[in-house]
Chains A and B, each alone.
Chain A
């Protein structure tokens, strides 16, 4: 079993739809990261959260520490949201993040 698992692997949505990407992890946690990778390859950090919920524009990230589960929601999705979304959880020991394989999101107009 992977230490960090994301679902779904691929997601296609129509513009305007509400989108949810899930992340389950088995490693210890201080803060979980959500990242966005655009087609060119560069990665941008979206959120780092250790409890509750964070919101930035149309993006909302939630985390349940007891269940070791986090979700990334996109409201009113737009084609420019098309990207790979990656969650990463910290290992309990060592200066390391464990990355999920990513969710490929395509939003059609």
Chain B
């Protein structure tokens, strides 16, 4: 079945360590996105990529980095510069480059806890 796979589902890291969250899709979608979800708040966009080897900062990119070397993969690295990294992270994709006018597909999310 086609879909978006995020791994791992739960991740624990010590403060000061970088950590990479995986996102893979087999939907052949050009555009991929990373969102952060905090309790009581709407999802906020971290980074997005509309095509391989290109990505753009979202609203809260500081302390995060991404790469898009393959169409299927869009890993997110949470660096030690991110001041409050504990959150739920969701990866999404859309068949059209502009998510505003097309259906979005989401992964199951990764819950990151930094201790």
Contacts and interface: CB of A to CB of B under 8 A. Distances in A.
Contacts of A48: 101-103
A2 B45 CA distance: 16
Interface stretch (B18-26, B62-70, B73-81, B107-115): B107-115
A44 B42 contact: no
Chain A interface size, under 10 / 10 to 19 / 20 to 34 / 35 or more: 20 to 34
A52 interface: no
A70 B50 CA distance: 28
Interface stretch (A53-61, A74-82, A99-107): A99-107
A41 B106 CA distance: 10
Chain B interface size, under 10 / 10 to 19 / 20 to 34 / 35 or more: 20 to 34
A76 B92 CA distance: 31
A11 interface: no
B108 A41 contact: yes
B15 interface: no
A24 B42 CA distance: 14
Interface of B: 31, 35, 40-45, 48, 50, 56, 58-59, 88, 90, 92, 97-109, 111
Given A48-B103, A95-B98, 16 more contacts: A30-B100, A31-B100, A33-B104, A41-B90, A41-B108, A43-B92, A43-B106, A48-B102, A90-B99, A91-B100, A95-B31, A96-B45, A96-B58, A97-B45, A101-B42, A102-B42
Interface of A: 2, 4, 30-31, 33, 35, 40-45, 48, 86, 88, 90-91, 95-102
18 contacts: A31-B100, A40-B108, A41-B90, A42-B108, A43-B92, A43-B109, A45-B106, A48-B102, A90-B100, A90-B101, A95-B31, A95-B50, A95-B97, A95-B98, A96-B59, A97-B104, A99-B35, A102-B42
